[in-house]
Amino acid sequence: MRVRDLSRDDMTDAQRRVADEAASGKRGRVPAPLRAWLHSPEMGARAQKLGEFLRYDTCLGPRLSELAIIITARVWTSHYEWHVHKREALKAGLEPAIIDAIAARATPDIADEKGRVVYGYVTELHRDHGVSDDTHAEAARVLGEQGVVELVGLLGYYTLVAMTLNAFDIGLPDGEATELEP
């Protein structure tokens, strides 16, 4: 890891408050990127609160959220993010064939309309750094305006997570192997 991993004894009061707040929330633990963000406690506090909402409380639900997250992990080849969210995607009911296709950078066969719309919107936004009027209109029709806003927020947040994990070289848990090719 490229930034000092703080033990509780090394933390300031502000850093301990942020770590404790994260661990007592819906995650039940300190998420991996917070290990770096704790070096800026105010940023860490704000980011982890946003992340908790985007991960657990959007109108998208777990299946669509995890689909968007694993696409983002694949875009950034973020091994830790992929490791955690592949498991969460499976728990949320995302089919293994979809996950395998995303890992291989292939277009998955997604049967449900919402899943297809999320996949299309997410891949277009990551690829083109914007979306066409048609893509946006279809997403608004299928997901609603709130759904599209929350989807874009989710993508922004998990891009921040991927960048943090990659930049600070926050690796996989001991004994775990990478699954994604560059």
Q: What is the mean pLDDT of residues 77-104?
A: 98
The pLDDT of residue 60 is 98
* Residues 135-161 pLDDT 10s: 999 999 999 999 999 999 999 999 999
The pLDDT of residue 59 is 98
Beta-carbon contacts of 53 under 8 Å, excluding residues fewer than 6 positions away, are none
Instruction: Provide the mean pLDDT of the chain.
Output: 97
* Residues 2-42 pLDDT 10s: 999 999 999 999 999 999 999 999 999 999 999 999 999 99
* Residues 50-83 pLDDT 10s: 999 999 999 999 999 999 999 999 999 999 999 9
| Full-model pTM | 0.96
The pLDDT of residue 120 is 98
